[in-house]
A and B are shown apart, each in its own frame.
Chain A
Amino acid sequence: MNFTNLQIETENIPQLEDIVLKPISKSYFKIIVLNQLLLYALLVSLVFIGKYITENDEHVIINFWYLLLVVIVFCIINFIYSYLAFKKRKYAIREHDVVYAKGLIVHSIIAVPISRIQHVEESRSWLARHFGLSTLKLFTAGEAGSDLSIKGLPHLEAKKIKEIISANINGSN
């Protein structure tokens, strides 16, 4: 039995701080913007429809311009927030693990060892295909939610990562 139990120098083990996290593709922000534009276009048109319906009704006195203003202010805040949050989405692939960071208000850095990944999936929505992006989903065992999904990766990059991980999974079995 060749068992060794060397002392581990905590300074010498790989450090999280040393990882250079790569930002996800800039085009993904376009997708976020498009999705939100769609949502707010819907909201604004709802406001206008509401205005149209209640126009002749004397009893309803709501200032529609205020309502519209609220929606638009909300929209702008949401955009700024999305942009800042988008900046926080970063990822890195190391030899033995995949690291993904996200979140503006609650920032989290998730690491999943490649040896624990059960299977990999690359999914592409219609919009994502249009921008040449894809989402990489990494599944681990158990329902405890250590699954990882990295959105907005360039298609080629995602494919490459998927291949690396697949090779690793199949190699270990």
Chain B
Amino acid sequence: MEVTDFSQPIRQSSKGIIIIFAFNAFKFFKKFFVLLIAFGLSLMKGKTIGSLTPTMIWLGFIGILIVIFIIAILKYLNFKFHLSEDDFHLSTGIINKDTTIIPKSKIQNVYIKQNFLQQLIDVVSVKIETAGDKKAEIEISALDKPTALLLKKKLFTKANVDEHSVEVTDGRDVFFKVTPKRLLLEGLSQNHFKSFTLILAFGFGLYTEFQQYLEELEVIEYAKDYVKVEEGTLINLLITNILIVLVFVVVSFLFSIIKTFIINFNLEVVEHQKTIEINKGLFNKVSLSLTPSRIQNIVITTNRVKQYLGLHSLAVRQAMTDQKQQKNFNIVALEKDQVNYLIDKLLVDYDREGELSKPRPYFMRISTYHMLLFLAVTNGLAFFIFGTELWWINVLIVPLAVLYVYYAYKKAYYKISNNYITIGSGVIDTTTNILEIHKIQGIKLKQSFFQKRRHIASVVISTASKKVTIPYVSKAEALSIYNFLLFKVESQDRDWM
């Protein structure tokens, strides 16, 4: 195998033209979707639009494709990158030439991704991300895999060279590989409210969109006739409604499961000496490395059902990654001891022992207020829409509200050790948030007018990726946390990235 020399400006693989072409064509057609449909319809009917004949439309269509193709070639020719001692250089642009230089030490992530088309023609795209501006993101869309891996390695090894010696062995130690059964369980035990509302919104949107067509096709009339046959009894109506709800529930279950499968297909956690590599995805294959020094927060989530099934998710938060990318840092369906192992790997000397402190019972008072407000709103809405008939719904909601308050307080705790802060929260989910003290960016002491009399305050801790709150502790406790954390951050002189 020939080893690629990155010190000279090189182009990506010539297959890149196809990727750029496909990407641009897709973007173009997405933009002029409506127009194209109009043209397409007239083509189907063989009619003319104004003075345009079908042949001319075809020719125009092909012309556009050719233009996009030429642009793709030019883009490809003008896309060059190389590596120098400490920086990554990239020059792009057909008419406006852009040169981007990223110092290796500022690179936060290097992803290797492969979408469906890239899988077909066997190339991968490399994405380089910094913690800064979102525009500074770079994507090389077509490289063959060995080159990509080499590039990634070169980008990382140099960056770390001053911190610790270059990684010696490159042993591939697969630490965790998800089985289809566990993925299925993971999909099943998800919070289905989310996908349920999504499906509902989607169905509703689809309905309003195609209402006109449906009316034209007289589907409604047909359906009405159909219903009329069974009309008459209330039970039939009830059954129909229950069936509709059931269909939605089943669809949202399926949706959750399929989504989980597509995103986490063949999820694999590979252990390297200093880093951890995550590979996953069905249509969009992603491979990314986690460097402990770049991690800002670690969030572990599970819920009652998942806990019983031994399913835990571990999410890693980094500075300034966008929401879509953030999701890639989730490792799902982990066993409890696998989570612990990963934490030990990513967070040096994380102390699992130590006593947990609880917020003041004032916490319950606040969540009770929240729930009362919620009850008032739901009752008000129910009253205005359905009148007094729906009062019985409170029989369902009130116990749930009580449970909410109870569990929210039961699951809330915080622990501050020498180097780490651990905060537990959640109602349905059980969430554990861990952050390193030296990665704190700012601390806020918050106290409302009402809390002042009770000597209660909250501490809000910001890192580069997330804000976490230690809610409602006594003022004295809050002050000592505040002082301790500030002292820790300022006396240590450790970098946050």
Contact = CB atoms under 8 A, between A and B. Distances in A.
A and B associate: yes
Nearest to B458: A108
A144 B463 contact: yes
A144 B446 contact: no
A140 B442 contact: yes
A111 interface: yes
B497 interface: yes
A108 B447 contact: yes
B442 A105 contact: no
A116 B466 contact: no
B470 to A, nearest CB: 14
Contact of B441 (A13, A96, A140): A140
B344 to A, nearest CB: 19
B482 A111 contact: yes
A113 to B, nearest CB: 5
A142 B444 contact: no
Residue from B452, B462, B487 having most chain A Cβ neighbours under 10 A: B462
A75 interface: no
A16 B445 contact: yes
Interface residues of B, number: 35
B320 A116 contact: no
Interface in A58-94: none
B463 A15 contact: no
Contact of A142 (B319, B443, B484): B319
Interface in B416-444: 418, 440-444
Contact of B484 (A5, A10, A115): A10
Say whether chain B's binding surface is mostly helix, strand, loop, or mixed.
mixed
Given A105-B448, A148-B442, A142 B490 contact: no
A140 B131 CA distance: 12
B483 A13 contact: yes
A80 to B, nearest CB: 15
Contacts of A104: 449
B484 A13 contact: yes
Given A143-B320, A144-B463, A111 B442 contact: yes
A4 to B, nearest CB: 12
Interface of B: 131, 296, 319-320, 418, 440-449, 452, 460, 462-467, 479-480, 482-484, 486-487, 489-490, 493, 496-497
Interface string A129-146: 000000000001111111
A109 B445 CA distance: 5
Interface in A94-115: 96-97, 104-113, 115
B316 to A, nearest CB: 15
A148 to B, nearest CB: 7
A57 interface: no
B441 A141 contact: yes
Contact of A116 (B449, B482, B489): B489
Residue from A17, A106, A111, A144 having most chain B Cβ neighbours under 10 A: A144
Contacts of A144: 441, 462-467
Contacts of A112: 441-442
Interface of A: 5, 8, 10, 13-17, 96-97, 104-113, 115-116, 140-146, 148
A10 B445 contact: no
Contacts of B483: 10, 13-16
A30 B482 CA distance: 34
B487 A116 contact: no
B448 A142 contact: no
A107 B452 contact: yes
Contacts of B460: 108
A163 to B, nearest CB: 20
Contacts, number: 104
3 nearest CB pairs, A to B: A142-B464, A146-B442, A146-B462
Given A111-B482, A113-B486, 14 more contacts: A8-B487, A14-B487, A96-B486, A107-B452, A108-B445, A110-B442, A110-B445, A140-B441, A141-B496, A142-B463, A143-B320, A144-B462, A145-B467, A146-B444
A43 B452 CA distance: 35
Nearest to B322: A143
A106 to B, nearest CB: 5
Residue from B447, B490, B497 having most chain A Cβ neighbours under 10 A: B490
B444 A141 contact: no
A141 B489 CA distance: 15
A173 B441 CA distance: 17
Nearest to B460: A108
Given A10-B483, A144-B466, A144-B467, A116 B444 contact: no
Contacts of B465: 142, 144
Given A108-B446, A109-B444, A96 B490 contact: yes
Contacts of A105: 448-449
A2 to B, nearest CB: 13
Given A14-B483, A16-B482, A144-B462, A116 B442 contact: yes
Contacts of A140: 441-442, 462, 464
Contacts of A96: 486, 490
A15 to B, nearest CB: 6
Nearest to B497: A141
A1 to B, nearest CB: 13
A96 B489 CA distance: 9
Contacts of B493: 115
Contacts of A145: 462, 467
A104 to B, nearest CB: 7
Contacts of A143: 320
A144 B493 CA distance: 22
Contact of B320 (A17, A109, A142): A142
A145 B443 CA distance: 11
